[in-house]
Chain A
Amino acid sequence: MNIVERFKNYLLRHIQVMLSSLGELWRHPLASIMTIVVIGIALALPAGLLVMLTNVAQISGQWQDSHQISLFLNDEVGDTRGQQLAEQLLSWPDISAVEFKSSSESLEEFRELSGLGSMLDNLPKNPLPAVIIVQAADDFSETENIEDLLDRLARMQDIALAQLDMQWLQRLRSLNQTAQRAIQILAALLSISVLLVIGNTIRLSILNRQAEIRVIKLVGGTNAFVRRPFLYTGFWYGFLGGVVAWLTLLTSLAVISGPINALASQYDNVFSLQWLAGELFLALPLLGVLLGVLGAWLAVGKHLSAIEPN
């Protein structure tokens, strides 16, 4: 046998084992499906949370870019002066948009948002200042520049307070990081459980085939030969589990996309749900295959030495 033919036989053998492992799963459909669904759910859970988090990060990222500054005006500044100031600011090159809100408009808005209604009529005087909301120009993405702008604005005499509307965003972001860490831990734990599920399933099938393994070793089968069908079984469990996970996500996201789009339309559609469908379609089966083959390897390894001579 020359090298080329040997390699061809080897490849053919692999394909044959790959297909017969799939056939083996097919022969016990109920047990196989249960295992695959368990794997699918375990993979879908962290992936789904990751999708959520990615979306939150994307939304907060959009808001970060908007660089919004609130300028609270001194009490004695009247509406006309406020308007003028706003227009003046608009001419600055590093400001792209302004919006003036008189103190009575601010009160109206507060009344609406707070739901306090006529209770506010009892106040002796309007406690809210007039506000100019300033959008920094887009090319001012550097924090230092916006701090600089903030500084200049704060030093103007009509302005009581200039505030960068980013604190809540920073909070959201650190919350997001915490959630990300939590999801990483969850993903690690669930990966281990996938490993154990596959390992245990394959351990059972090894026990069922111990006589066969013994005979294979007695007639000169290598460890690689014994291992191969089990590795392919792990491969199929992981791959199909990954596909199930993807389908599960797709279905769940389709179900919640309705409410989310409704929510988005209330916020001028500044965000839309990102499914990461393409990435996950690759990543989930790949991760499944990785875990499946590893789980199978670990399960077989222990049993190979048990049948060795000595």
Chain B
Amino acid sequence: MINFNQVYKRYPNQYEALSGLSFHLERGEMAFLTGHSGAGKSTLLKLIALIERSTHGQVIINNQNLGRMPKWKVPYYRRMIGLVFQDHNLLHDRTVFDNVALPLIISGENHREIGRRVRAALDKVGLLGKERNLPIALSGGEQQRVGIARAVVNRPPILLADEPTGNLDPELSQEIMQLFEQFNQVGVTVFIASHDHDLISRMPYRRIVLQNGRLAE
């Protein structure tokens, strides 16, 4: 599902964030991406989401070679990837409902379908009663769950999360991780960047460890 083959990423300032990276994630697999701060975790996820492009090497996602993808196809490609960020990236002038509905509005769903799917996603993250609230009125953990609902609302086959528990206490972090597990159990490929060793070590999933932009052994 996620296939990196000798991938290099050099930023415009000549800094090489990823060097000769190769790994493979199966369809339906759940894995963690760990490593020190600055190791290249975010960069790697950005390559998968096509927020950045690799300088060298192949990134192949769901049998599509991202290096060959023309610009106009990128938005449609991104619709099959759910993204969760550390700082949620919610729109603060819109209700929880409108935030979660955004991907569906973009893909042109009809009104009824949007209502149905948004409520299903909010139900799954346990926020059904809060759909009319503004994000500001929610706790940090709740905001992160809105972000997760938005990421899964159009049922993408891949879910990427960049430090999703970075701002949360251990208990809330645990809950968020359980949510990801639930999505993985219904077949979603889940890839989570995190440097929260305590949390990760308690969970039975593969770990891909980065060190200065390379795989650590």
Cβ A219 vs Cβ B110 within 8 A: no
**Contact A214:B89 (CB < 8 A) given known A309-B52, A310-B53:** yes
Q: What residues of B have a CB within 8 angstroms of the CB of A12 in the complex?
A: 110-111
Q: Which of B52, B71, B74, B106 contacts A219 (CB 8 A)?
A: B106
Stretch of B28-36, B75-83, B163-171, B209-217 lying at the A interface: B75-83
Task: Give the contacts of B68-115 with A (CB-CB under 8 A).
Answer: 71-72, 74-79, 83, 89-91, 102-103, 105-111
A182 contacts the other chain (CB 8 A): no
Count A-side interface residues using an 8 Å CB cutoff: 24
Q: Which of B49, B71, B107 contacts A218 (CB 8 A)?
A: B49
Q: Which of A225, A308, A310 contacts B106 (CB 8 A)?
A: A225
Q: What residues of B have a CB within 8 angstroms of the CB of A211 in the complex?
A: 89, 91
Q: Mark A1-34 against chain B: 1 for CB-CB distance below 8 A, else 0.
A: 1000110111011000000000000000000000
Task: Give the contacts of A213-268 with B (CB-CB under 8 A).
Answer: 214-223, 225
B128 contacts the other chain (CB 8 A): no
Chain A nearest Cβ from B48, distance in angstroms: 11
B21 contacts the other chain (CB 8 A): no
Q: What residues of A have a CB within 8 angstroms of the CB of B83 in the complex?
A: 218-219
Cβ A216 vs Cβ B89 within 8 A: no
Chain B nearest Cβ from A89, distance in angstroms: 79
CA–CA, A309 and B109, complex, Å = 26
Query: In the complex, which of the residues A6, A12, A310 has the most CB atoms of chain B within 10 Å of its own CB atom?
Result: A310
List, sorted by A's number, 12 A–B pairs whose CB atoms are closer than 8 Å. Answer: A215-B102, A216-B106, A217-B78, A218-B51, A218-B89, A219-B78, A220-B77, A220-B79, A221-B75, A222-B106, A308-B71, A310-B53
Cβ A219 vs Cβ B103 within 8 A: yes
Cβ B75 vs Cβ A217 within 8 A: yes
Q: What residues of B have a CB within 8 angstroms of the CB of A310 in the complex?
A: 52-53
**Contact A309:B75 (CB < 8 A) given known A9-B108, A212-B91, A214-B89:** no
Chain B nearest Cβ from A156, distance in angstroms: 82
Q: What residues of A have a CB within 8 angstroms of the CB of B74 in the complex?
A: 309
Cβ B150 vs Cβ A9 within 8 A: no
Chain B nearest Cβ from A19, distance in angstroms: 15
A217 (CB) vs chain B CBs: closest residue: B75
Binding site for A on B (CB under 8 A): 46, 49-53, 71-72, 74-79, 83, 89-91, 102-103, 105-111, 150
Chain B nearest Cβ from A155, distance in angstroms: 79
Q: What residues of A have a CB within 8 angstroms of the CB of B105 in the complex?
A: 13
Chain A nearest Cβ from B56, distance in angstroms: 15
Q: What residues of A have a CB within 8 angstroms of the CB of B108 in the complex?
A: 1, 6, 9-10, 13
Cβ B78 vs Cβ A220 within 8 A: yes
Cβ A9 vs Cβ B109 within 8 A: yes
Cβ B102 vs Cβ A9 within 8 A: no
Cβ B109 vs Cβ A216 within 8 A: no
CA–CA, A218 and B74, complex, Å = 10
Chain A nearest Cβ from B69, distance in angstroms: 10
Q: What residues of A have a CB within 8 angstroms of the CB of B111 in the complex?
A: 12
Cβ A220 vs Cβ B75 within 8 A: yes
Q: What residues of B have a CB within 8 angstroms of the CB of A215 in the complex?
A: 89-91, 102
A10 (CB) vs chain B CBs: closest residue: B108
CA–CA, A94 and B46, complex, Å = 88
Given contacts A13-B108, A215-B91, A218-B49, 11 further A-B contacts (CB under 8 A): A5-B110, A211-B91, A212-B91, A220-B75, A220-B103, A222-B75, A309-B46, A309-B51, A309-B52, A309-B74, A310-B53
